[in-house]
Structures are given as C-alpha cells and as structure tokens.
Amino acid sequence: MPPPPAAALSSGVAAIDRLTDLFADGDVLVLSGAGISTDSGIPDYRGPDGAAHNGAPMTYQRFVGSETDRRRYWARSHVGWARFAAAQPNPSHLAVAALGRQGRLTGVVTQNVDGLHSAAGSPDVIDLHGRLDRVACLTCGIRRPRLEVGLRLDAVNPGYRDQVTAATGRLRPDGDVALDDTDGFRLVACRACGGVLKPDVVYFGEHVPRERFRTALAWLDRSRSLVVLGSSLMVGSGYRFATAAARRGVPVAIVTRGVTRADHLASLQIDAPLAEVLPPIAASLTQVGSVGRWESRPDRSQQPNVAGGHAPRARD
C-alpha cells in the first residue's frame, strides 16, 4: 500500500489554488456523484432532503423478484420521468464540460443516471450506473429509448399520469416519486421477446457491467489525479475508484458537502458548494489556453464565498 496521503490543506484559498493546479496540469479523471446534480433539481441520496431520508431506493432483487414491486416502481417512475427528464445541466456540469473541452480531463466517470454531463457537452463520459433515458429487456438485452416505452405506458394507462401528478411527492435521484396506490397500473413487455423491461440503470444490489468498469479503470491508469465531485462514495463502485487511485499512487481530491467514505484516502478535501468552486476554476483556466501550470491566479476577493459568507474550507 502507498503511504498515507498528505494532510488536506487548511486554507480555503490555498485549497482552491491546489485544486486549480490539478486541473491545470491535465489528465484529471473526474468522478461525479448525485451532489453535482442537486442544483438541477435532482436530489441526492444522503443529503438532508435525499432519498435516504425519504424511503429506500429500489433494489435489483426486489425488481426482478416481485411483479408488485415492478409495478410500483414503473408507476412511480412513469409519473416522475417528465420532471426528471426536464432537468437541465447546471453551472457545475458546464464547468466540467469546459475543462474537458480544454483537454484537461482524461474523462468523466459519473455515478448519476441523469445524462446531464453529456447534455452539458462533456466529450468523454462513462455513465457508470447507466442512464435512465434508456430501457433494457432482462431477457433478450435489447435497449429502447425511454420516451418510446413511456408512450406505450401512456397508451395502456390512459390518463394515469394526469390523474396522479397533482398528488405526487418529491422527485428521487432514480427518477421516481412517492405514490400510495399503484395496483391499477399496467406494465408493458419487450416487443421483441415479451420479456421484462427495466430502466437501463444499475440498481442497488446490482453489479456494474464488467467491461464498463474496466474501461473506467483504464481511464484512471492514464490519469495524474482523481477529482471526486459531489459524492460521499458510500456506494461500493465509486469507493473502489478512490481505493484504486490510492493503490496506484494517484492523488485523490474530494469536493463535496460533508464527510465521505474515502476521507482517509484524500490528499485534498474541500467542503463547499460545487457551483461556487468549479465555474471560477474553469473560467480562470480558459484564459490559459492550453494544458499547463496555472501561474496567474485571479483575485479571490472578487469570487463568491460559500453560503454563510465564509470561504470554501478544506477539511484536515
């Protein structure tokens, strides 16, 4: 095992400068989590308003083992999909995309299923847990657009979405909403083989496809640093990237609110809103024009502070 990482910086300004230097040096692998999409109206799992406080998410075992659970999930997801699909990239997604276009990133590995990194224009994205805008058949493996399946669900459940929309609860990170009565909701099957349809996402209790994970690790092998954005790394697949980086001697930087599972592996931790960290960094590096050390640092006094009027802080 490599030696423990250096202590995280204690100065907010110094921490932002160090993070900027990582991006300026290039070959950064970004690993993003639900926290990057909260400003787009999609809640995270473990924040104060997240799904962990408002009911457990669907698991793979429940979905494949119970038609009742499948019906409940599809009814909730069908109603919540319109709100989920309407989400737009926020300034943090756009900043990551700008850094990618500048050639500073190996790529973006996202644990999110919202597709917002691609929508923002990031050139190289691995959707580690899949995408909610696709549907897969569990029998034949065929994939179809979510919009197509949604139209079929509308056809066999006429008026259902309109009837329950007014009574829906809050949106969840996996795109569904809380509904009390879903017994009357009708499911549709795969048109090719009649098999069970499932959103093309990795549920809790399900494994990331092996080749997808191997590709993401290959990106890590080509990277000089790993920057974690908006993730507590509580999910095993995300945490494995942090441990893999540590084994390879790749510095790990974490920018998120609160503690994470990989705090002991990080050489840099910044506890601040992503929207107040990433856009200024991307803007300052746009002026550099090419990958290289960031020598002319902008005036920090002109940049916004975090909520409450304090500069972003690094945890030590």
Is pLDDT above 80 for 181?
no
**pLDDT above 70: residue 292:** no
**Residues with active-site annotation:** 129
pLDDT, mean of residues 90-108: 98
Region label for 41, one of left (φ > 0), alpha (ψ between -120 and 50) or beta (otherwise): left
For residue 168, what pLDDT band results from cuts at 50, 70 and 90? Answer: low
Q: Tell me the per-residue pLDDT of 224-259, one tens digit each, with 9 for 90 and over.
A: 999 999 999 998 999 999 999 999 999 999 999 999
The whole-number average pLDDT for the span 187-197 is: 98
Confidence (pLDDT) at 307:
30
Q: Report whether pLDDT(313) > 80.
A: no
Domains of the chain: 12-314 (3.40.50.1220)
Query: Does 276 have pLDDT greater than 70?
Result: yes
Taking the whole predicted model, whether its pTM rises above 0.85 is answered as no
